[in-house]
Structure 1
Amino acid sequence: MAKQRLPLCAIYGGTFDPIHYGHLKSVEALAKLAALHQVTIMPNNVPPHRPQPEASSQQRKEMVELAIAGNPLFRLDARELQRSTPSYTVETLEQIRAEHGPEQPLAFVIGQDSLLSLHHWHRWEALTGLCHLLVCQRPGYAIAMDNADQQRWLDSHLTSHVNDLHSAPGGKVFLAQTPPYDISATVIRQRLENNLPCDDLVPAPVLEFIHLHHLYRSVPEAK
């Protein structure tokens, strides 16, 4: 009797400050391309490689919950928000790998921008020993890596076969041909600060939460 194959677990980490349609629609497209049944959204607390979030950990958690409510594709993992130290992806993935065991196919979702800067991540070369990397397209970013060594690393891990992601615990990089949604949290925060509409960029419950808590607004100077 053939051994039953374990389902691929996919994790999508990020600041989500705030979560927006660029996040959600990219991963929904990726799920169809990579045959994902569920994606775990994992907000980080203190990202080492990016500016610190403007919204609090609790506010970003609540915005994610509002954004994914009623969508069975997504679930939330808030473990990184409980940390007071920088969130290193490799350490979190080591923890998740220990929880699931060595045979569980595991994938981490990143954007094309993150792939190009991956060599700056803490212990980045250990990532593919823990999981696959599923890469969503980002508009305006190069297809090739910055130098020959990084490109050789990428070429040695690339796969275009979805079955490779489901049949092995990790080790592959899958460049998904997702639509390049031109939406960024930076632009959204700038629009909100200038009282410009964001209805087409952010789910309505998230936008209501942002307005209710007066997030991403400049503080008026004291007179």
Structure 2
Amino acid sequence: MAKTTSRLIALYGGTFDPIHYGHLKPVEALAKQVALHQVTIMPNNVPPHRPQPRADSQQRKTMVQIAIAGNPLFKLDDRELQRETPSYTVETLEQLRAEIGSEQPLAFIVGQDSLLNLQRWHRWETLLTLCHLLVCQRPGYSVSMDTIEEQQWLDAHQASSVEQLHTQPVGKIYLAQTPMYDISATAIRQRLEHHLPCDDLIPSAVAEFIRQHHLYS
């Protein structure tokens, strides 16, 4: 595989309904581990594997913008919010590859829960031909795959060093040792429905936006 010295680009997708510290803090730790200069947060519009978001696309986009304001690590890409069709990660990665070329190192950030369910994703077997996977730990999820075949697949692609992520454009899975935050958007929405405070779970400016717009209540 061809070598390159281009800076590793990292993407982080999700519904972010709402964005919270369980999204932001592990990725900040990941960035230090693998020397990421920037992470592009990419909210999706029509998630194919979960219920539709409670907040609309513009509200979720605004909450992300508020959450990352003043943090140079993060930037926003709203291309998936422009689609009315399901937000399949592989299609977004193909679009990005057409823009940045085949030699640019590119990574997609997922949680351990997503890795365990990856083979349910649309055209999952194509993902590692388009990017690396950077995997953040999640509380309560196994570090091993469910089947021998899946574990062999993981072992065959697991990165042995951070350097591989920067010198190869695609094909590696990096299991990061990130802090685990037992925070979920579902639990936050439930707390907000019962008018319970969430200021320790989400950025204060996001909490204020939610209050002003009476979201989730």
The reply on whether 1:99 has 2:99 as its aligned counterpart is: yes
Corresponding residue for residue 86 of structure 1: 86
Taking only aligned residues, the RMSD between alpha carbons, in angstroms, comes to 0.9
Deviation, structure 1 residue 56: 0.1
Q: Distance in 2 between matches of 1:154 and 1:17?
A: 30
Corresponding residue for residue 122 of structure 1: 122
Corresponding residue for residue 140 of structure 1: 140
Q: Distance in 2 between matches of 1:44 and 1:179?
A: 25
What do residues 1-29 of structure 1 show as CA deviations (whole Å, max 9, x unaligned)? xx971100000000000000110101000
**Equivalent pair of 2:108/2:133 in contact (CA under 8 Å):** yes
**Equivalent pair of 1:160/1:175 in contact (CA under 8 Å):** no
The reply on whether 1:58 has 2:58 as its aligned counterpart is: yes
Runs of 4+ in 1 over 3 A off after TM superposition: none
Corresponding residue for residue 201 of structure 2: 201
Q: Secondary structure at the match of 1:159?
A: coil
The reply on whether 1:74 has 2:74 as its aligned counterpart is: yes
What do residues 126-171 of structure 1 show as CA deviations (whole Å, max 9, x unaligned)? 0000000000000000111111111111111001310000000010
What do residues 57-91 of structure 1 show as CA deviations (whole Å, max 9, x unaligned)? 00000000000000000000000000001000000
Q: Secondary structure at the match of 2:188?
A: helix
Identity percentage of aligned residues: 73
Task: Go from structure 1 to structure 2 and tell me whether the alpha carbon gap of 1:197 and 1:160 turns closer, same or farther (over 3 Å shift).
Answer: farther
Task: Go from structure 1 to structure 2 and tell me whether the alpha carbon gap of 1:177 and 1:160 turns closer, same or farther (over 3 Å shift).
Answer: farther
**Equivalent pair of 1:22/1:181 in contact (CA under 8 Å):** yes
TM-score normalised by length of structure 2: 0.98
Q: Distance in 2 between matches of 1:125 and 1:24?
A: 28
Question: 1:1-223, aligned counterparts within 5 Å?
Answer: 5-217=5-217
Task: Go from structure 1 to structure 2 and tell me whether the alpha carbon gap of 1:142 and 1:197 turns closer, same or farther (over 3 Å shift).
Answer: same
Q: Secondary structure at the match of 1:16?
A: coil
**Equivalent pair of 1:67/1:205 in contact (CA under 8 Å):** yes
**Equivalent pair of 2:4/2:104 in contact (CA under 8 Å):** no
Q: Amino acid of the residue matched to residue 68 of structure 1?
A: I
Q: Distance in 2 between matches of 1:4 and 1:123?
A: 26
Q: Secondary structure at the match of 2:216?
A: coil
Q: Distance in 2 between matches of 1:72 and 1:104?
A: 21
Q: Secondary structure at the match of 1:145?
A: coil
Structure 2: state its 5+ residue gaps: none
Q: Amino acid of the residue matched to residue 214 of structure 1?
A: H
Structure 1: state its 5+ residue gaps: 218-223
Structure label with greater radius of gyration: 1
Q: Secondary structure at the match of 2:208?
A: helix
Q: Distance in 2 between matches of 1:184 and 1:97?
A: 31
What do residues 91-120 of structure 1 show as CA deviations (whole Å, max 9, x unaligned)? 000000110001000000000000000000
